[in-house]
Amino acid sequence: MQYENPEIPEGINVTPEHHLKEFAVLVGGALALILAIVLLLGWLAESIAAHIPFSYEQEIAGDLGGDTPVDATQVAIERALQTLADGLVAHMQLPSEMRIHVHYVDDADTVNAFATLGGNVIVFRGLLEQMPSENALAMVMAHEITHVQHRDPIVSLGRGVVVGLALAAIAGVSGGDLTDSVFGSAGTLTALSFNRAQESAADASAVATLAAYYGHVNGAAAVFDLFARLEAEQPLQPPAFMASHPDSGDRSTSIAAQAHAHGWPLTGELTPVPEALRLQ
């Protein structure tokens, strides 16, 4: 055998692609894989969380509903809110073990209400001050009660915790830092966000509840007219596809379409806000 030592051409082990392009492809592929894994974990967490017994959810919630009111005014407000909630629940076919507890927060700057774990519904003073009728308030209350009925808080919590743990693990956080990164926020368990599908489903159930409770759906759209006005006052708005809530105008249109499909009157006498809830 004759030994040969041929001259190696220059650049034989160098790719013709620019090294930055190769790096971008590798990073993009890794990010796509991470995103797919996180989405899959989130979906699995949602599926499992929806089957957690409500009694266990109540144990998780503990005293998230807030402090026991000691002020006579707050007691009267919470009693009036609870009375309205109980009346709505009578038309909503909640499971027998599911109880709704309404809590009031004396914060005039927050125009909001939300449902959280264990059947707790939180209502802020800022929202009550803006309500033009009991019908509009009932739309908000029925919407939040529907979130409880559909188990949206525990589902969102399960998704958030699992996705948070996955991202923290990928980022290399460990030990106590890992726990703090997922559970450290004071609002993790209460300020839960629901996706647009959950919000649309809650809207549809709330409108049906109003039709059964009042015999018409007048006042329901006033809630979204209010939100549309408040959104317009904000200097910057995220694109619709990035918002967790459907467009307020679209939600008003959906109410009319749903009422027409079911034969529910869009007009009817509005019920004044109960005296205890008139905070303006």
In this structure, how many other beta carbons lie within 10 angstroms of the beta carbon of residue 123? 25
Tokens of 269: 């006498």
- What is the share, in percent, of the chain residues with pLDDT greater than 70? 71
pLDDT of residue 171: 62
Across 202-227, average pLDDT? 94
Residue of 8 and 227 predicted with greater confidence: 227
- What is the share, in percent, of the chain residues with pLDDT greater than 90? 41
Residue 208: is its pLDDT beyond 90?
Answer: yes
Find the distance separating the first CA and the last CA of the chain, reported in whole Å: 102
67 lies in some domain? yes
14 lies in some domain? no
Cβ-contact 135, 220 below 8 angstroms: yes
Tokens of 244: 């967790």
Cβ-contact 50, 154 below 8 angstroms: yes
13 lies in some domain? no
The SS3 of residue 52 is: coil
pLDDT of residue 88: 97
Dist CA 245 CA 251 (whole Å): 9
24 lies in some domain? no
- φ/ψ of 101, rounded to 5, equals -125, 120
200 lies in some domain? yes
Cβ-contact 120, 101 below 8 angstroms: yes
207 lies in some domain? yes
The per-residue pLDDT for range 228-257, each reduced to its tens digit, is 888 778 765 555 555 667 788 888 899 999
Residue of 190 and 143 predicted with greater confidence: 143
Highest mean pLDDT range out of 51-65, 132-146, 189-203, 266-280?
132-146
Residue 190: is its pLDDT beyond 50?
Answer: no
Beta bridge partners of 209: none
How many domains does the chain divide into? Answer: 1
Residue 95: is its pLDDT beyond 50?
Answer: yes
250 lies in some domain? yes
Cβ-contact 128, 279 below 8 angstroms: yes
Dist CA 70 CA 202 (whole Å): 32
Dist CA 262 CA 258 (whole Å): 6
Q: What pTM does this model have?
A: 0.76
| Domain ranges, residue 229 | 54-161+168-277
Conformation bin of residue 117: beta by default, left when phi > 0, alpha when psi is -120 to 50: beta
Helix boundaries (H) for the chain: 19-49, 54-61, 72-89, 125-130, 134-149, 152-170, 175-183, 196-214, 220-232, 248-262
113 lies in some domain? yes
Residue of 28 and 18 predicted with greater confidence: 28
Residue 148: is its pLDDT beyond 80?
Answer: yes
